[in-house]
Amino acid sequence: MKKFLLFVVVAALFVMAPTAVAQMTEVGPGEGQVDIIAWAGYIERGDTDPAYDWVTEFEEQTGCMVNVKTAATSDEMVALMNEGLFDLVTASGDASLRLIAGERVQPINTDLIPSWSAIDERLQDAPWFTVDGVHYGVPYQWGSNVLAYNTEIFGDVVPDSWSVVFEEQTLPDGESNAGRVQAYDGPIYIADAALYLKYHNPDLGITDPYSLDRDQFNAALDLLRQQRALVGRYWHDAFIQIDDFTNEGVAASSTWPFQVNLLVASGVPIASVVPVEGATGWADTTMMHVNAPHPNCAYMWLEWSINPKLQGDLAAWFGSVPVNLAACEGNELLGDTGCDVNGLGNFDQISFWRTPTAVCQDGRTDVQCVPYYEWVTSYIAVIGGR
């Protein structure tokens, strides 16, 4: 109940414009540490693979020790930021505007980020972290949610539709998909159902999977209730999903390229695809808490986070796309074709995560759209079988 009330409060705050918060005007000596909330795989110091380490050199250069708290969902990130114990968070678009409206993050002085101009121009003023011309973070990485599938189960067949996780069917191995697919354990997954319906049921008139009127929203919920009978597990922990694909016979699921890369590297027969319906995706922003305990180290990390070496190494590790496109050339781990392989050319085809609001963001003014707090309560009900 406490978490539910948090969601309601945050949703209510979202309709309000953020009040003015002073920007930092200079970066002083580091405080000795920086505490970051991050997605799994986003901040590596070589513990998993020594080739992937973009923390050690930063610590040596700045004296700021990096502490990372891994979060599995955007809602968890929002809850952790509300606790006020962290400096930074790598927020996706379904969390960033909530953090701004809730006054949990502070404006970023881009003059204190020397490499700001190196950021992809398509992202410098992106609406998921820029409000009234004020930037509330620094872009970090972006990518799409992909359909991962077991190649031993599918054989030579490459699934070209999300139907393999939404509709009951016989898979190429002759067995039903019931109990052998997964879905993401987060309310924003309702947008994946809406994107599927946008393609297969155009009469619903869905143009933006994050701007759903009541009829469109209910149709998405009906599809998710249908899917509920097929789902073996709702996933939110990347490493548990990796274990499920390795040991539990999962046939197909929405996932991140991060899991696919680790599974392939481990020899598990997994491949991935973006189906014909398209995909949702994430464009993540490193945002700074309004009362960050270590603001100088935080600003040092913000600058460090967009250097080409880190950006390329991270893209190679996670399967994402750098926000500093200089990383796409000459990076030993990513290779010169890595950005293209990871979807650099798909930017305009991705429906990036965004916080749903009662004001429709698709241009409609004659209806209200369903706000995020209802996405939360409704998806909890779907997972609970209601």
Find out whether 164 and 182 touch, Cβ atoms under 8 Å.
no
* pLDDT band, residue 19 (cuts 50/70/90): low
Q: What is the pLDDT of residues 260-313, one digit of tens each?
A: 989 999 999 999 999 999 999 999 999 999 999 999 999 999 999 999 999 999
Nearest-angstrom CA–CA distance, 157 and 175: 14
| CB-CB neighbours of 384 under 10 Å | 8
Q: What is the pLDDT of residue 14?
A: 44
Nearest-angstrom CA–CA distance, 113 and 117: 9
pLDDT, mean of residues 136-151: 96
Chain-centroid distance of CA 383 in Å reads 20
Three-class HEC string of the chain: CHHHHHHHHHHHHHCCCCCCCCCCCCCCCCCCEEEEEEECCCCCECCCCCCCECCHHHHHHHCCEEEEEEECCHHHHHHHHHHCCCCEEEECHHHHHHHHHCCCECCCCHHHCCCHHHECHHHHCCCCCEECCEECCEEEEEEECEEEEEHHHHCCCCCCCCHHHHCCCECCCCCECCCCEEEECCHHHHHHHHHHHHHHCHHHCCCCCCCCCHHHHHHHHHHHHHHHCCEEEEECCHHHHHHHHHHCCCCEEEECHHHHHHHHHCCCCEEEECCCCCEEEEEEEEEEECCCCCHHHHHHHHHHCCCHHHHHHHHHHHCCEECEHHHHCCCCCCCCCHHHHCCHHHHHHEEECCCCCCCCCCCCCCCCCCCHHHHHHHHHHHHCCC
Q: What is the pLDDT of residue 1?
A: 35
Task: Kindly list the structural domains of the chain, giving each domain's residue range(s) and its CATH number in brackets, ordered by start.
Answer: 2-143+281-352 (3.40.190.10), 146-255+357-383 (3.40.190)
The mean pLDDT of the chain is 93
Q: What is the pLDDT of residue 345?
A: 87
pLDDT, mean of residues 123-143: 95
* pLDDT band, residue 380 (cuts 50/70/90): very high
* pLDDT band, residue 2 (cuts 50/70/90): very low
Q: What is the pLDDT of residue 11?
A: 42
Q: What is the pLDDT of residue 23?
A: 84
Q: What is the pLDDT of residue 102?
A: 94
More confident residue, 1 or 375: 375
pLDDT, mean of residues 329-335: 96
Residue whose structure tokens are 């003014």? 365
Q: What pTM was estimated for this model as a whole?
A: 0.84
